[in-house]
Amino acid sequence: MKFLVCISKAPDTTSKIEFTDGDTKFNEAGVQYIVNPYDEWYALVRALELKESLGGSVTTITVGEVGDESIIRKALAIGADNAVRVNAQANDAYFTAFQIAEYAKANGFDIVFTGKETINYNGSQVGGMVAEMLNQPFVSLASKLELNGAAATINREMTGGVEVVEVNTPFVVSSAKGMAEQRIPNMRGIMAARTKPLEVIEPAACEDLTSFATYSLPEAKSACKYVEADNIAELVNLLHTEAKVI
């Protein structure tokens, strides 16, 4: 089985979110980048588990510039066999999906894994787009995936519950909580990652369909209004007459 895992970088959760250049650019000064948690904890680790029990290979693909190689090495340290970096800035989900689909078409994978969304753009876009471009089924928001030959049984989140679906490889799946448990890379993995293949390819021609014109920050919250613990009637009164939410 050949598995392809889409890996994106994301600013560490504790990063201060600020913008520069007239609010058109994310201020990267002092920002620590991590592997997007959904890509790492759920997509990558489940692909590795399947490889360990069924054999095969796990390749990661990242659309990004040379600075992204530290997070790609992290994915290799966790256990991916090899990595591909498409040498381009990922500004638009369609552009990113197009690059991944082109690579997947040329190399043929049984399952393409993505995370549910990135924690910086929260778009949930790339997986579905790749599936359409590959003309393959797309199972979104999977919380469990078992593979038996070419037939996969997948639990996915649905409005009001969980749905168990069956789908045959090849397909694209986006991974949510429950798929796998986070793995911490060990020293041996970190050492091995240094010499694992990281292929850099140039992007295929594709136009962006969208761009972020500007960014803004929410208005600062006014200070918390404290209510005494023995005066809950006052809290209920505030929620009813001031906040008007009950």
Partner 1 sequence: MSVLVYIDTLNGSVAKNAMEAVNYGSKIGSTTVVTNGSISEGDLAALGNVGAAKVLVNRAVSTNDASQITNIVAAAADSCGATTIVFSQDLTGRAVAPRLSAKLKAGLASGAIALPSADGSVKVNVFSGKAFGNVSFNSDKKIISLTPNSIQIEETGGSAVVEEFNADAGSASLTVKDVQKQEGDVLLPEAELVVSAGRGLKGPENWGMVEELAKTLGAATACSRPVADIGWRPHHEHVGQTGVAIRPNLYIAAGISGAIQHLAGVNGSKVIVVINTDPEAPFFKAADYGIVGDAFEVLPKLKEEIEKLKAQN
Q: Is 205 in the site for partner 1 (CB under 8 A)?
A: no
Considering the complex, what minimum distance in angstroms separates the CB of residue 186 from partner 1? 22
- CA quadruple 97, 213, 118, 80: dihedral sign: positive
- Nearer to partner 1 by Cβ, of 14 and 195: the residue is 14
Quote the CA–CA distance of 73 and 78 in Å, as a whole number: 9
Three-state DSSP class for residue 194: helix
- Nearer to partner 1 by Cβ, of 187 and 220: the residue is 220
Considering the complex, what minimum distance in angstroms separates the CB of residue 183 from partner 1? 15
Restricting to residues 140-179, which ones interact with partner 1 according to CB under 8 A? 140-141, 143, 153, 157-167, 171, 177-178
Q: Is 27 in the site for partner 1 (CB under 8 A)?
A: no
Q: Is 221 in the site for partner 1 (CB under 8 A)?
A: yes
120: Cβ–Cβ under 8 A, 6 or more apart, which residues?
10, 11, 26, 36
Q: Is 112 in the site for partner 1 (CB under 8 A)?
A: no
- Give me the 44-83 binding string for partner 1, x by CB under 8 A, dash otherwise: ----------------------------------------
C-alpha distance from residue 86 to each of 6, 61, 97, 198 (Å): 11, 8, 11, 11
How many Cβ atoms from other residues are within 10 Å of residue 127's Cβ?
27
Q: Is 203 in the site for partner 1 (CB under 8 A)?
A: no
Quote the CA–CA distance of 118 and 63 in Å, as a whole number: 13
Q: Is 17 in the site for partner 1 (CB under 8 A)?
A: yes
- Nearer to partner 1 by Cβ, of 83 and 111: the residue is 111
Quote the CA–CA distance of 246 and 72 in Å, as a whole number: 48
